[in-house]
A = this chain, B = another copy of it.
């Protein structure tokens, strides 16, 4: 990420500038999330993809900010949904401000993202990012429907995370090629790269929520479990378990009837069936897809950075 550190600083400045509003709660609340210093992996994707494609202007700065605004809006709305207590190790916006403000500030950020895109003036970019936004919303609703349903199929789950997570990674990378005016084949290659990294990223996130290593680092684990969220580790353990184990999963995740030590028991079952390891193996498959998608690009520092970023999606925190 050092490759785009200077550009990322410009993105950060633009984000803070465009958060301004005469309604002071807006920058206050949004800064809470944005200053929490997430990995900014999505805007970085746009910056490096643009570099890979030989783009030399500065439109990628504002489009990277758009991508982060859309992501932050999604986080704010997702917090309302998830009732998770911690995100990035800090209290979520809605634990501090209630449910109301985060929804509306999310709407503001989302609108600001579109205002920035309109100022940029590319209908192609607007098309890619507005489609991505609709797909993300569909994925989030689909997740709502599959939550608490242990009969969710693996393919339904993978399709859902392609929508709710990978669509924005895909759009973020694809925009780089659009900016540089590269042919459709390059756009598609970067879209595939982004989508694959996004799926890998989400699979690893789902595994980390049950990871003993995370617990040792002082991070909260078990959020997904407490909400009854059905993720790949659960689907694998459920499929490989006996009837008694399935009863356990149904009680905890469908009925949300959870008792002391249920999370520990869940982690033991995931371990017994190698569900976390196999989820990571699946993620590694997507990383391989991501690398393969870059094959048509000549070697460069940008290409190496994208390869590193794909690896990071899987190997962070393991």
Once the chains are docked, how many angstroms separate the CA of A77 from the CA of B104? 7
Once the chains are docked, how many angstroms separate the CA of A142 from the CA of B25? 8
**Would A127 and B118 count as touching, CB distance under 8 A?**
yes
Q: In the complex, how many angstroms separate the beta carbon of A93 from the nearest chain B beta carbon? A: 13
Cβ contacts under 8 Å, A136 to chain B: 107, 111
Once the chains are docked, how many angstroms separate the CA of A99 from the CA of B25? 22
Cβ contacts under 8 Å, A123 to chain B: 118, 121, 123
Cβ contacts under 8 Å, A104 to chain B: 77, 81, 137, 140-141, 144
Instruction: Choose among B73, B105, B108, B138 the residue that contacts A26 (Cβ–Cβ < 8 A).
Output: B138
Q: Is A22 an interface residue (CB 8 A)?
A: yes
Considering only CB atoms, which chain B residue lies closest to A131 in the complex? B115
Q: Is A309 an interface residue (CB 8 A)?
A: no
Once the chains are docked, how many angstroms separate the CA of A119 from the CA of B145? 30
Cβ contacts under 8 Å, A80 to chain B: 80, 99-100, 103
**Would A23 and B145 count as touching, CB distance under 8 A?**
yes
Considering only CB atoms, which chain B residue lies closest to A97 in the complex? B144
Instruction: Choose among B21, B107, B114 the residue that contacts A77 (Cβ–Cβ < 8 A).
Output: B107
Cβ contacts under 8 Å, A81 to chain B: 99-100, 103-104
Once the chains are docked, how many angstroms separate the CA of A145 from the CA of B117? 29
Q: Is A34 an interface residue (CB 8 A)?
A: no
Digit string of A119-139 for contact with B (CB within 8 Å is 1, else 0)?
101010011001101101110
Q: Which residues of A line the B interface, CB within 8 A?
A: 21-23, 25-26, 73-74, 77, 80-81, 99-101, 103-105, 107-108, 110-112, 114-115, 117-119, 121, 123, 126-127, 130-131, 133-134, 136-138, 140-142, 144-145
In order of increasing CB-CB distance, the 9 nearest A-B pairs are A111-B134, A108-B137, A111-B133, A114-B130, A107-B137, A104-B140, A81-B100, A118-B126, A115-B130
